[in-house]
Structure 1
């Protein structure tokens, strides 16, 4: 007979469920009404929990917003990058294959989350509250860039590319891809205005440019 969960265990699970409900509710409100348009009372109502529950778990609206940002970026599987890279290196894979996988991971994240709307929110609110942009970078863009930097450094160390400045190169490759897959959406520039090429063309051209600069030298 399997013993029933203890009282502390049940309380912990309930607290975790409430936290996820609160974060999801707060994100929906922030995206719709902006940072100033939301308070803990509205978050509690949206999450269908008591206001005191929100306060007990977070303490302030700023803490709720920080938790929303962390949860948003947590769906980007950065831990998979190094694993995929080592698998690629172990099977004799080339840098282009890894960069394609990286680009697909980034595109999936953008398409499957509210990344465009969230980026717009951060841009709009950071003028009044600079900490919002700083936190968005700290929990999202910085880890993303670092993960790519680490992978490029590994490719350089194994002789697959010639890239003595992997941090600079990571920013460059992100720029080559994101210029097409996110910023036109953030700025609400229509595809008819941009005459946007397909995603696979953007990636292949970006990889070609990147490896023309950083490809291994014989």
Structure 2
């Protein structure tokens, strides 16, 4: 594994529209190239050709193949960041048990869609295959993507628990149960499927919502004889 890296571009260079265009083209080409060929099979010459830039431009902007590989994971980080920000704010707005249940169902669909309909599964599959080569990168991915999502869910579950809208003793455990009930099986299938991605079908979303129903039976608020908790 390469250890030397060229310095990152200066702020002025980063703002240069020509460099910005080249950077975007290189990232797009590199992303598809790595996903198709893996790390060992990837070739900077081919990436440059696909991006319609010179090989020198690739090295000037990124410093080499390893940095390009790291760069393409930014897409998965961005998906996790958006979801983590949204899930806490939307679940925090629930005022009663019915609203909480509705928000949990929306959260389930919003979790399934980006993971299974985009390239996140392919990125995850690629990184798993290179985890021994890049252990620190695999750890960073876990902390900034799956783990970050679990932390956001745990924070939201804790808030719902404090308001009596869920029965929550261990927020992190509760969040993991939620995530695996709505996403675990289709994600496993996608990771071991030869196709580019798990098809995002109505059936996948239906099962995710059924997972929420199971979750609510386990962690829903305690109901008394006068009716549902509010």
**TM (normalized to structure 2)?**
0.76
Over 3 Å counting, the alpha-carbon distance change for 1:71 and 1:199 in structure 2 is: closer
Over 3 Å counting, the alpha-carbon distance change for 1:142 and 1:15 in structure 2 is: farther
1:80 is aligned to 86
Write the distance in 2 (CA, Å) between the matches of 1:43 and 1:90: 51
Over 3 Å counting, the alpha-carbon distance change for 1:16 and 1:189 in structure 2 is: closer
Count of residues in correspondence between the two structures:
205
The answer (yes or no) to whether the contact 2:167–2:220 under 8 Å persists in 1 is yes
Deviations 1:71-103 (A, max 9, x none): 23313532222232234x258753321221111
User: Which 10-residue stretch deviates more, 23-32 or 177-186?
Assistant: 177-186
1:116 is aligned to 121
Over 3 Å counting, the alpha-carbon distance change for 1:72 and 1:45 in structure 2 is: farther
Write the distance in 2 (CA, Å) between the matches of 1:49 and 1:75: 28
Report whether the alignment pairs 1:66 with 2:49.
no
- Which has the bigger relative contact order, CA under 8 A and spacing at least 6? 2
Write the distance in 2 (CA, Å) between the matches of 1:197 and 1:10: 42
Gaps of 5+ in 1: 1-7, 191-195
Q: CA RMSD in A?
A: 2.8
Write the distance in 1 (CA, Å) between the matches of 2:184 and 2:110: 16
1:193 is aligned to none
The answer (yes or no) to whether the contact 2:96–2:165 under 8 Å persists in 1 is no
Report whether the alignment pairs 1:15 with 2:43.
no
Write the distance in 1 (CA, Å) between the matches of 2:205 and 2:42: 39
1:3 is aligned to none
Write the distance in 1 (CA, Å) between the matches of 2:210 and 2:23: 43
TM-fit CA distance, 1:132: 4.1
2:5 is aligned to none
Report whether the alignment pairs 1:106 with 2:111.
yes
2:211 is aligned to 206
The answer (yes or no) to whether the contact 1:94–1:160 under 8 Å persists in 2 is no
Write the distance in 1 (CA, Å) between the matches of 2:163 and 2:57: 52
1:47 is aligned to 51
Over 3 Å counting, the alpha-carbon distance change for 1:46 and 1:101 in structure 2 is: same
Question: 1:25-44 counterparts in 2 under 5 A?
Answer: 25-44=29-48
Write the distance in 1 (CA, Å) between the matches of 2:16 and 2:137: 29
The answer (yes or no) to whether the contact 2:92–2:160 under 8 Å persists in 1 is no
**TM (normalized to structure 1)?**
0.80
User: Which 10-residue stretch deviates more, 92-101 or 142-151?
Assistant: 92-101
The answer (yes or no) to whether the contact 1:152–1:163 under 8 Å persists in 2 is yes
Which of 161, 166, 170 aligns to 2:171? It is: 166
